[in-house]
Chain A
Amino acid sequence: MSDFATQVEQLRPQLLRFARTQLRNDAWAEDAVSECTLAALERPHAFAGQSQLKTWLVGILKHKVVDQLRRHTREATILVGEDGEDVDEALFAPDGHWREAPGDWGDPDAACNQRQFFEVLEACCEKLPPVQARVFMMREWLEIESDEICRELRITPSNLWVLLHRARLRLRDCLQLRWFDGAAAKA
């Protein structure tokens, strides 16, 4: 194996982890990573060495992840109904007031400078209902435009907003529970 191939192969576990987080499906993640490494090995000269190899590979992998999502669109169309629980209902009284005041999360830097915070964030994303997780990752991680997500998943913009709305509220709850409630104890 060439040096280049060895280096690419060594990064495989990390790429796989990245793809799994995005796709939440091991088989799709394997496929995306295989396609990514294959593409990389086919044109090693395209890697100019300006960025880190890993950054370059992740750039390719993002496209392959989107391809996978595209390919498996049909499986993603069982949509808004997947979330039985009404997130809004849990947060707001019938008159539209907060049932409980949102917590004071303090200085954003304090959280963002801690590696464990990102582990919690990742775990919280993994706990989202699958379709919510998928649209959230597409929007926030892969930075795909809303129009394109709607096209790919064959959903309407209002479907998308409902999904993102719920995803963000659920993430907020999860972060409150798994990070901020305990943060006082950590400090």
Chain B
Amino acid sequence: MPKNTLSCKEATRLLLEDEDHEIPAADRIALQVHVKICFMCQRFVSQLNLMRRATQAWRKHGESDVDDTP
């Protein structure tokens, strides 16, 4: 593996960090390069997107719809 490429494990860590706070620009670039060529990490990105959307929807659901459940 070339020296300055990330492993999937490192890419995953950065992706998760990025959910919560901005990661350094250099890391972001390395991450983009990795994700572009790695279909497994692309899947992980989609999973994170789904989880993010789901939590947003869930939050709203918790606030406005709590009584729909019997």
Contact = CB atoms under 8 A, between A and B. Distances in A.
Partners in one complex: yes
Interface of A: 11, 14, 17-18, 21, 52, 54-55, 58-59, 88, 91-92, 95-98, 101-105, 108, 111-112, 115, 117-118, 121-122, 139-141, 143, 146, 160-161, 164-165, 168-169, 171-172, 175
Q: Chain B contact residues (Cβ within 8 angstroms of A): what range? A: 20 to 34
Contacts, number: 103
Nearest to A109: B53
Contact of B58 (A58, A104, A105, A121): A121
B33 interface: no
B30 interface: no
Contacts of B21: 146, 161
Given A103-B43, A105-B46, A165-B17, A118 B54 contact: yes
The secondary structure that dominates the A interface is: helix
A118 B40 contact: no
A165 B48 CA distance: 12
B62 A141 contact: yes
A108 B63 contact: no
A108 B49 contact: yes
A86 B27 CA distance: 24
A147 B2 CA distance: 37
B16 A164 contact: yes
A118 B44 CA distance: 20
B7 A96 contact: yes
